[in-house]
Amino acid sequence: MRKYALLPFNFITILNHEILINELGDFIITPIGTVQKILSHSISDEDLYKTLVSNFFVTEEILPSLLDIYASRLRTKKGFLDDKTSLHIFVLTLRCNQNCIYCQASSQEETSKHCSMSLEDMTASVQMMFHSPSPNLTMEFQGGEPSLEIDLIRHGIETAEEINKEKNRKLTYVLCTNCRKLSDDMLELCKQYNILISTSLDGPSYIHNKNRGREDSYEKTIAGINKARAVLGNEFVSALMTTSELALDYPKEIVDEYVSDGFNGIFLRALNPYGLAAQNEDWKRYNQRFISFYKTAVDYIIEINKHGIFFREEYASIILRKMLTPYTTGFVDLQSPAGTINSVIVYNYDGYVYASDESRMLAEIHDYSFRLGKVTDKYEDVFCGSVAKRMGKIWANEALAGCSSCPIKVYCGADPVRHHSTQGDMYGFRPTSLVCEKNKAIIEYLFSLIVERGDEVLPIFRRWVK
Amino acid sequence: MTLKIDRKIFSDSCISTVVYWFSSRYAIQRSIQGTIETLTIDGVQDEKQFLLEFYQKLNDYKLRNQIDEETKYIKTILYAKAFGEFDELTEEEILE
């Protein structure tokens, strides 16, 4: 009987293997029955024993001499907390020049009035952003269609640049645009301030046009992407897709579209239950179909990579980065404590601050649960106010029923806003939580690929997380 | 269907966690007499499959509970070492 003490870990059974996962997200694939052997101190496999010791699963000392290193690595895994709120979303307007069938932002007609941010609120929002202690501040302009408000963007950036002469933060700008009417003035502004363009491309024309409610949308988006690339360079233009009901039938065609458009990755993004998308009749069915869509698409992407083309799936890459590297990710949906407020904040066109992008979407259906205060309020009252404190009690999955004992919680996150919107309770009930079902399915699927086809997929996955 | 579980073998925490995960599919009533807990489960169609899944989960959570119990002190030390100094900061310092 070996003498050792256990270190904290959990396990999951996949494809007749036990995957042991420690607090850092490091994992070991072992035969069935290994956990029982560890607990009964009866491991006979010398190599396995050495692996368990060297990877912080068991220790031969009562207080491991490498505990400080373990603690330091754990701190690194939660490094996003040190960064504080770095992503500042400015919802400039609800005005939009498209009619997306699943619009999650409750966009209005292009000619609509009283749904754009005032210059005064933009100034106050930028001033509030600089109260965040983060050394890196990203200003992300959203809508509606934010490029319809170029003067507001210019004002926001110029105000930020002026304040930053004293504050000395690293500023990054992102414009989320449908690329439909990217004017020369807009691109000149992008060039001047190195603004990154994030556009929406749902796949081939027959999917994109249907989703976006206009027959020429695909053509205009591709033209906009090419125009932006010509002025700014390829690396300044990225695209996101949203998986509509229609898209669920075309996983390979959507991936092919992104490859042929010269992108080196795709974010297979599920619909969120906000705005028009909330009217979806059967979310459970959608969720199950999305999981199947996702697996087919990732399988296909792996095949593409095997032919020597670097092309990654972004959601998988975020999870794999947590599995295969010592580092954290800045992706707010998979953070614990949750990314809301801690990593992201939203200054809305209505002059109020919200906990996340989804929170301001809820406000459009008169649910103000995550409204933190006005942009003119004191920073402390907004970021540490009563709403933030209420959320703070339930935003860490380490302390939530259903999550705390989950073996894969280290790769996942708490999502109080989503659970509030879908279950009427910020805390959430995991057995019926669709976000839990989706994340579990994807994480377990990635593990199953590693277990079953490790030699083939791990070199590809390692390239994705570099 | 009715299921009797000896709490000397499976703890309350262990049974509660498994009941939590099954409660989206079944209505489960719990009662205790001595060390024996009786679960009355409504809605089970395939008893064999249910028992297989239920006991698999019970056994898994039992192992997890054992690991948690054995590692709770080292886990506290680990998290204190990793994040402890945050507790020493005043609210003003945090907001600076």
Assess if residue A433 is contained within a domain: no
Assess if residue A418 is contained within a domain: no
Assess if residue A271 is contained within a domain: yes
DSSP-derived letter for residue B45 is: S
A13, A153: one domain: no
Chosen domain end from A363, A381, A406: A363
A215, A355: one domain: yes
Mode of pairing for the β-strands spanning A5-6 and A58-59: antiparallel
What pLDDT, on the 0 to 100 scale, is given for residue A276? 60
User: Shortest CB distance from A75 goes to which of B20, B21, B82?
Assistant: B82
Residue A197 has pLDDT above 70, yes or no: yes
Residue A110 has pLDDT above 80, yes or no: no
A175, A192: one domain: yes
d(CA A92, CA A146): 6
Cβ atoms within 10 Å of A97's Cβ, excluding its own? 19
Percent share of chain A, pLDDT over 70 = 98
Q: What are phi and psi of A138, to 5 degrees?
A: -110, 125
A216-230 CB burial, b ≥16 within 10 A, e <16? ebbebbbebbebbbe
Contacts of B81 in chain A (CB under 8 A): 67-68, 71
Contacts of B60 in chain A (CB under 8 A): 11, 13
A283, A335: one domain: yes
A123, A259: one domain: yes
Amino acid at A356: S
Domain count, chain A: 2
Residue A95 has pLDDT above 70, yes or no: yes
What pLDDT, on the 0 to 100 scale, is given for residue A82? 85
A104, A66: one domain: no
Assess if residue A10 is contained within a domain: yes
Q: Which domain holds residue A269?
A: 84-363
Assess if residue A451 is contained within a domain: no
Assess if residue A412 is contained within a domain: no
User: Shortest CB distance from A8 goes to which of B61, B75, B95?
Assistant: B75
d(CA A341, CA A332): 10
A318, A288: one domain: yes
Percent share of chain A, pLDDT over 90 = 83
A150, A23: one domain: no
Contacts of A13 in chain B (CB under 8 A): 60
Give the number of C-alpha atoms closer than 13 A to the C-alpha of residue A354, restricted to the C-beta side: 23
d(CA A186, CA A183): 5
Question: Distance (Å) from the C-alpha of residue A252 to the closest C-alpha of chain B?
Answer: 34
Residue A104 has pLDDT above 80, yes or no: no
Task: Assign B78 a pLDDT band (cuts: 50, 70, 90).
Answer: very high
A169, A286: one domain: yes
Cβ atoms within 10 Å of A214's Cβ, excluding its own? 19
A72, A88: one domain: no
User: Higher-confidence residue: A113 or A450?
Assistant: A450
Mean pLDDT of the region A155-159? 98
Cβ atoms within 10 Å of A190's Cβ, excluding its own? 23
CA–centroid distance for A19 within its chain: 25
Tens digit of pLDDT for each residue in A61-88? 877 778 899 999 999 999 888 888 999 9
Chosen domain end from A77, A98, A132: A77
User: Shortest CB distance from B61 goes to which of A8, A68, A405?
Assistant: A405
Tens digit of pLDDT for each residue in A385-402? 999 999 999 999 999 999
In CATH, what number is assigned to the domain containing residue A191? Answer: 3.20.20.70
Domain coordinates in residue numbering, chain B? 2-83
Task: Assign A101 a pLDDT band (cuts: 50, 70, 90).
Answer: confident
A71, A215: one domain: no
Residue in the block written with tokens 């945090």: B94
Residue A131 has pLDDT above 90, yes or no: yes
Alpha helices in A142-235 (DSSP H): 150-167, 184-192, 205-212, 217-232
Chosen domain end from A363, A378, A404: A363
What pLDDT, on the 0 to 100 scale, is given for residue B86? 57
User: Higher-confidence residue: A173 or A332?
Assistant: A173
d(CA A377, CA A353): 9
In this structure, of A139-148, A270-279, A335-344, B63-72, the range with the lowest mean pLDDT score is: A270-279
What pLDDT, on the 0 to 100 scale, is given for residue A145? 92
Contacts of A6 in chain B (CB under 8 A): 67, 70-71, 74
Assess if residue A358 is contained within a domain: yes
